[in-house]
Structure 1
Amino acid sequence: MYINWIDVLLSLPAVFLAMSFHEFAHAFTAYRLGDPTPKNQGRLTLDPLAHVDWLGLILFALFKFGWARPVQVNSSNFKNRKWGSILVSLSGPIANMLLSFAALAISVAIVVAFPYPHAVLMGIIDRVVQLNIVFAILNLLPIPPFDGYHIIKGLFYRRNVKFFWNYEYYGMFILFAFILLGGFNLIVRTPAQYVYQQMMYLQSLLLSQLR
């Protein structure tokens, strides 16, 4: 397998940012909803070292599929346990999309201010846009342990307890089958590429108006 190490190095800042903002969003939302657990465990920070899982980081940098160290949450501390858990789960993917749009805005501002910006800098920012889109969509998958699963579980658990027990039991097998059968390319990478193309179109529109 050929690995483009230049691309890997340029992607690392984007991976650190994606994971840090994603997990910080979980921690911050849980804390604001009344759960001190993330703060007590040192997760209420954007410091990537507080959130990184080194194996997940390496895999994400190499294959665009990885994970961070999950934020632990005690949902019994929420005033509304069901909707608190759902909001915490949603906050991670939302943070990634917001970061992607922020990176896009920064790239536009740089190009407007400096018509010939450094290619390496723009390459890093472009990867921040791309990888955060991928990270957001990936985490919305309704497969354990992703946020999408916890959202579905929060909505339907009480009426389908046995189903969710079995689903979690076989969750890792389902995830491996999903990857091996090409589900990642079809359900994550393809829509992520479409969203990225639309954002590049938005970027070109903004530049045409601001230049």
Structure 2
Amino acid sequence: MTQWLAELLPAVVATVLAVTLHEAAHGYAALALGDSTAKQAGRLSLNPLRHVDPVGTILLPGFLLVVQLLTIGRVEAMFGWAKPVPVNPLRFQDPRRGMMLVAMAGPLMNFLLAWLGGLAAHPVDWLGDSLAADTQAWLYRGIALFILANLVLGLFNLLPIPPLDGGRILVGLLPLPLARQVARLERAGIVIVLLGLLVLPRLIDGFDPLGWLLRGLVQPAFGLVLLLSGNGSVP
């Protein structure tokens, strides 16, 4: 296996699994609450192709990849999204509460997967000397990338900006007049996120929301996952 493929393959697999199971969790949560829209649309699937959005999954990440490699020679930031799972809140007994619970299901799935990834490190430990050093290191790296992909996806989606899951959770928690105001941001939410992540950091010195997310939330969360899965913690 060439070096670049050995580096890229676990990252791609980790991201695809994290996104696919995140979206499937939304659909299964909606079904459990009485809405079969996702099931009828064929979106209760672990097939990643069912969740591909032409713009958010292919065109935008590809554009960002090419532009960054051509301009600065490296990839500093990536952004994209999967095709949202269709949900009809009118089929819930309490639409606001139902949408909040459906929104919570995606990040919770990612946190569960991150913990399971931590548990997967134990068999690699047990195999020990029976594995070649390079193979063991590659497995550990794959597990670390799987944990990282799920933590980044889960924590990023908890940002309180519709249509991210955190925005929909916020709408479910706020008093109705405030909830309506926040819900109106949904159409502009993706534009706000893109400006905040990709444009403003280029214009404002020291403005680095992605770095803050990684250092302030993802890094300590990674250590917590290792601790909860019996792997100690990172310093």
Which interval holds the TM-score relative to the shorter structure? 0.7 to 0.9
Per the TM alignment, residue 80 of structure 1 is displaced from its structure 2 partner at its CA by: 1.9
Matching of residues 49-198 of structure 1 within 5 Å: 49-53=49-53, 55-57=55-57, 59=61, 63-115=77-129, 117=131, 118=135, 119-156=137-174, 158-160=176-178, 163-164=181-182, 166-179=184-197, 180-181=200-201, 182-198=208-224
Q: State the match for 2:33 in structure 1.
A: 33
Q: Distance in 2 between matches of 1:5 and 1:65?
A: 21
Answer whether contact 1:24 1:44 (CA < 8 A) is retained: yes
Answer whether contact 1:138 1:188 (CA < 8 A) is retained: no
Q: Deviations over 1:72-111 (max 9, x none)?
A: 1001111221211111000000000000100110112222
Q: State the match for 2:70 in structure 1.
A: none
The more displaced of 161-170 and 67-76 is: 161-170
In structure 2, do the counterparts of structure 1 residues 64 and 24 end up closer, same or farther at CA, with 3 Å as the change threshold?
same
Q: State the match for 2:232 in structure 1.
A: 205
Q: Distance in 1 between matches of 2:93 and 2:8?
A: 43
In structure 2, do the counterparts of structure 1 residues 162 and 87 end up closer, same or farther at CA, with 3 Å as the change threshold?
closer
Secondary structure (helix, strand or coil) at the match of 2:146 reads helix
Answer whether contact 1:64 1:131 (CA < 8 A) is retained: no
Q: Unaligned 5+ residue runs, structure 2? A: 66-74, 202-207
The more displaced of 84-93 and 194-203 is: 194-203
How many residues are aligned here? 203
In structure 2, do the counterparts of structure 1 residues 21 and 115 end up closer, same or farther at CA, with 3 Å as the change threshold?
farther
Answer whether contact 2:171 2:180 (CA < 8 A) is retained: no
Answer whether contact 1:134 1:189 (CA < 8 A) is retained: no
Q: Indicate yes or no: 2:14 matched with 1:14.
A: yes
Q: Distance in 2 between matches of 1:55 and 1:120?
A: 32
Secondary structure (helix, strand or coil) at the match of 1:160 reads helix
Per the TM alignment, residue 199 of structure 1 is displaced from its structure 2 partner at its CA by: 3.0
Per the TM alignment, residue 55 of structure 1 is displaced from its structure 2 partner at its CA by: 4.8
TM-score of the two chains, using structure 2 as the length reference: 0.75
Answer whether contact 1:137 1:188 (CA < 8 A) is retained: no
In structure 2, do the counterparts of structure 1 residues 64 and 112 end up closer, same or farther at CA, with 3 Å as the change threshold?
farther
Q: Deviations over 1:46-86 (max 9, x none)?
A: 11111133554453996353211110100111122121111
The more displaced of 19-28 and 46-55 is: 46-55
Per the TM alignment, residue 191 of structure 1 is displaced from its structure 2 partner at its CA by: 1.0
Secondary structure (helix, strand or coil) at the match of 1:66 reads coil
Q: Distance in 2 between matches of 1:9 and 1:64?
A: 17
Aligned-residue RMSD, C-alpha: 2.7
Q: Deviations over 1:3-41 (max 9, x none)?
A: x77533330000111001100100000011110100011
Percent of matched pairs sharing the same residue: 33
Q: Indicate yes or no: 2:56 matched with 1:42.
A: no
Answer whether contact 2:157 2:165 (CA < 8 A) is retained: yes
The more displaced of 131-140 and 154-163 is: 154-163
In structure 2, do the counterparts of structure 1 residues 157 and 5 end up closer, same or farther at CA, with 3 Å as the change threshold?
farther
